Amino acid sequence: MATKQAQAKTAKHIESRKELSVTNYIMAMAAITILVIFAGGYFGYVMVKENIRNGQVLVGKLKAQSEIGKKLENAHSLVDNYGRMSSQDKDLIEAALPDSPDFTQLMSLMETANTSAGTRMKSITNILTDASTTGSSAAASAQPAVATTQDSSGQQSANNAPQSVKAAAVIEGNYSQFTQYFRNLELSVRPIRVQSFNLKGNSGSLKGDITLETFYQGEADYSDKEKVVQ
């Protein structure tokens, strides 16, 4: 009787161990399956992210190639058109929109307008540099600073967008002389805009405080630049 009970306990113990082994096996397989799923998902995410980045790089390259092609086409067209122009037209364009502030040229044009109209320029001030001069010696004034921008490489380059150059002048003359003076400014080879003026005195003797504006444009920049594709 005791032997049968011992055998029954042994069989029950063996069965319990079998059930535990099966349970452990199932849990281990489930853990491995979960790890495989997560690993596959992670590597899938990495692959998708890499494919998206490669696509962005390709799109960026194609866009850059298209922009370079357009710029080269425009540059060749400008060179051809410029080559067909007469030297007189070239000088006119360079005088109308110089590639530097050329404040000296601006003062020379204003002095010419004064001489033709009979007015007298008592003083002129470069508003950008606050360099004031008097009378005909105004041509010795300093040039204003050229506006600059900074590209992604940290190098400064001239801003080739049109830049403003301003001057304040004090003019004396009579009413008809002032009328002719403003007409002369309108006919100037370099566009000059009168921003403001204030006249004092009577029609026979006037003193005018005038603020003028003109423009210049830096040389075009066709140098290569790098752009990081995000």
Give the mean pLDDT per block of 10 residues along the chain (230 residues).
55 58 69 73 73 79 84 82 77 76 86 92 75 40 41 44 88 93 89 89 88 84 63
Q: Which residues touch 172 (CB under 8 Å, ≥6 apart)?
A: 119, 120, 122, 205, 206, 207, 208
Summarised one tens digit per residue, pLDDT across range 61-79 is 888 888 888 888 888 888 8
Task: Give pLDDT, residue 143.
Answer: 40
Task: Give pLDDT, residue 101.
Answer: 84
Looking at the structure, do residues 150 and 42 belong to the same domain, yes or no? no
Closest CA to 117 of 181, 54, 210, 38: 181
Looking at the structure, do residues 178 and 141 belong to the same domain, yes or no? yes
Looking at the structure, do residues 147 and 207 belong to the same domain, yes or no? yes
Q: Could you list the residue range(s) of the whole structural domain that residue 55 is in?
A: 1-84
CATH code for the domain in which residue 131 is found:
3.30.70.60
- Domains of the chain: total: 2
Looking at the structure, do residues 33 and 72 belong to the same domain, yes or no? yes
Where a domain ends, among 57, 84, 111? 84
Looking at the structure, do residues 101 and 211 belong to the same domain, yes or no? yes
Determine, yes or no, domain membership for 71: yes
- Per the structure block, which two tokens stand in for 56? 């962005």
Q: What is the pTM (predicted TM-score) of this model? A: 0.49
The burial class, CB within 10 Å (0-12 / 13-18 / 19+), for 157 is middle
Determine, yes or no, domain membership for 226: no
